[in-house]
Chain A
Amino acid sequence: MPTTTAHDVPRSAPAPAAAARPRRFRRNPSTLAFWLFTGPFLLGLLVFVYVPIGWSLWLSFFEARFTVTPDTFVGFDNYRQMLENGDFTGSLLTFTVFAALIVPLTWALSLALALLVNRLRLLRAFLRSVFFLPTACSYVAASLIWKMSIFSGVRFGLMNTVLGWFGIENTAWLADPDPPWYWLVIVTARLWLQAGFYMILFLAALQNIPPELYEAAAIDGAGPGWQSFRHITLPQLRATSTAVILLLLVAAYQAFDEFFNLLSKTTWGRPPLVELYYTALGQEQDYGAGSAGAVILTLLICGVTLLQGRFMGFGRGEDAG
């Protein structure tokens, strides 16, 4: 299932409303046409989105180990169990650390790449493609390259080889949580995978900045380097920056693939979804607690989405208002 998130970069012109038509269409054959077009999707949405969510809510109030049709009602016990479970709350801490690292780093790197590529005249399309190419890789493939080659803990790993040229001993990048080198591995992998993607968003935004602004600033005495970046580029990119940061935050919240693959068999560095996976689908198959965890995570992510809505005006205009 694609881990599609519900986020929308700011688009320039909201399309006009078409929904508000008078009631005279009630007995119109267009009602039939409406259901013909939307019926299959709505049915699927009901069965594969609404039913699982409802079922999960129900399960979260039951003792449901190894079964999805339980009959022991336990009230909020599953919720209490999850919130008192150090592994689950620890996973929220792991997410916080991860987000604190990956969000600003990706923001800065993708913006820097966009600024560099935007200024190039030579090889511009080629270099843009180079930075963008990792977007085509899966998190699993990147994890494999990172774990088996770049940050392999053995002597022939690339990092250990390079450090070896300077006489530095081998480092166990992933197998030892102290010092927590695994963050370097996790963060660089995701940085490589997603920076090019956000670079594209920034490039599009950079090209929308009217050149007159720079001309006006130059007349006012602003230099072309840091000053015009600070006073024109950055403010003009505010909408895109906000969108990018929130997209990054929600993506980090849903991180699973690279943690699962890079840190399999370890007990450290488990973000929420990995923890949930082991709770519900691991040895215990505790669907009740797993569902309660999913509800808690959903509520948290809804909070972030609503926050995003406030920042980006998702609720404004005709879409949701």
Chain B
Amino acid sequence: MTAATKDRGARAAARDGRRRAGRGGVLGSAGLFAATGVAALLFLVPFYLLVRNALSTDAQITGENWEFFPTRLQWGNIGELFDDPTVPFARSLWNSAVVGVLHTVGTLLVCSLAGYGLARIPYRHADKIFYAVLVTLMVPAAVTFVPSFVLVSSLGWVDSLRGLIIPGLFSGFTCFLFRQYFLGFPKELEEAARMDGLGHWGAYWRIVVPNSLNFFAAIATITFISGWNAFLWPLVIGQDPDAWTVQVALSSYMTNQTVNFHLIFMATAISILPLVFVFLFLQRWLVQGIAQTGIKG
């Protein structure tokens, strides 16, 4: 960088520390834009391949020359996928939907109540109990899948929706997040509710929850995504194909003897679709949730 541009840049930075972009000249600005554009194109390649393959025939996918995009889109692949008896794809989608929704609702209910109790209801041993919750944060759920499987199989919950959903509801981390949130909830609102004769329970449902919907939505979005995308636990629990979630079904495609590329990619595309919707319409809460939690799951 020459002294002149450096000088000019320094003055620009002094004027506006945040928007220093482009002050280095049109060339720098264009370079920046080009670099970002190239990166963005690379990030979109997998989506391109997904859509292309999902709407092609196997002959087009495996053809001698690379076909950029099928001229005739094979929407019939969708019907063929759901008629395919080798992998119960429709069943797995249904399982995933049930698990995703119940996992989200259950986690939010159980963990928010506990978080509120720990944050706001005075009890002699509350801090000891809170430490007992914090200790579980040290042991990530992924490492405990062996003991969890041992327990769940003793309960006879293998291959059941119960086994898929219930053990995952009691997230110490989600409880912790709710507690932290409720600690910052304005006390005046609750006190007003108590004046009106509401107990803790009434104040919680009538005042606290309706005023916390943004936070609930953020946690719900993150919880749903991690539930929908979870693989290890559903793999362990779903020994019978009827208990597979969509992720386990996709995984089984990769090890099948017969490979029908167009069906595999159509299945993958359909499995991503619900999350693309979540992403497009709930992005605000998703970003907020990430900023608040720093995790995806």
Contacts and interface: CB of A to CB of B under 8 A. Distances in A.
A20 B125 CA distance: 10
Contact of A287 (B126, B146, B259): B146
Contacts of A213: 17
A87 B91 CA distance: 36
B40 A3 contact: no
Given A52-B148, A254-B140, A140 B247 contact: yes
Contacts of B39: 113, 116, 131
B220 interface: no
A15 B183 contact: yes
Contact of B139 (A225, A247, A298): A298
Given A1-B148, A41-B111, A257-B231, A6 B6 contact: no
Contact of A2 (B20, B148, B171, B275): B171
Contacts, number: 385
Interface string B170-193: 111111100010011000000000
A260 B138 contact: no
Interface in A214-232: 214-215, 217-219, 221-225, 228
Interface string A89-119: 0000000000000000000000001001101
Contacts of A81: none
B10 interface: yes
B69 interface: no
A140 B231 contact: yes
Contacts of B118: 38
Interface string B43-66: 111110110010000000111001
Contacts of B143: 254, 273, 294, 297-298, 301
Interface residues of B, number: 132
A26 B124 contact: yes
Interface residues of A, number: 129
Contacts of B6: 223
Interface string B97-139: 0000001000000110110111111111011011111101111
A218 B11 contact: yes
Nearest to B223: A2
B114 A38 contact: yes
A55 B152 CA distance: 12
A40 B174 CA distance: 14
Contact of A294 (B43, B146, B233, B253): B146
A30 B133 CA distance: 20
A201 B294 contact: yes
B108 to A, nearest CB: 11
B213 interface: no
Contact of A133 (B18, B43, B129): B43
Of all A-B residue pairs in the complex, the 5 with the closest CB atoms, nearest first, are A37-B117, A6-B137, A214-B17, A9-B294, A211-B17
Interface of B: 1, 6, 9-14, 16-24, 32-33, 35-36, 39-40, 43-47, 49-50, 53, 61-63, 66, 103, 110-111, 113-114, 116-124, 126-127, 129-134, 136-151, 153-154, 166-176, 180, 183-184, 199-201, 204, 223, 225-233, 235-236, 247, 250-251, 253-255, 259, 261, 264-265, 268, 271-272, 275-276, 278-279, 283, 287, 290-297
27 contacts: A2-B297, A5-B140, A8-B294, A15-B184, A23-B124, A30-B200, A31-B123, A44-B110, A45-B133, A48-B151, A55-B147, A113-B39, A116-B35, A116-B39, A117-B36, A138-B228, A139-B229, A144-B268, A145-B268, A228-B20, A254-B140, A254-B143, A287-B146, A287-B150, A302-B138, A306-B138, A320-B131
Given A148-B265, A211-B17, 15 more contacts: A4-B173, A51-B151, A52-B151, A121-B22, A129-B283, A132-B287, A133-B276, A138-B228, A141-B250, A148-B261, A156-B61, A194-B296, A224-B13, A294-B147, A320-B131
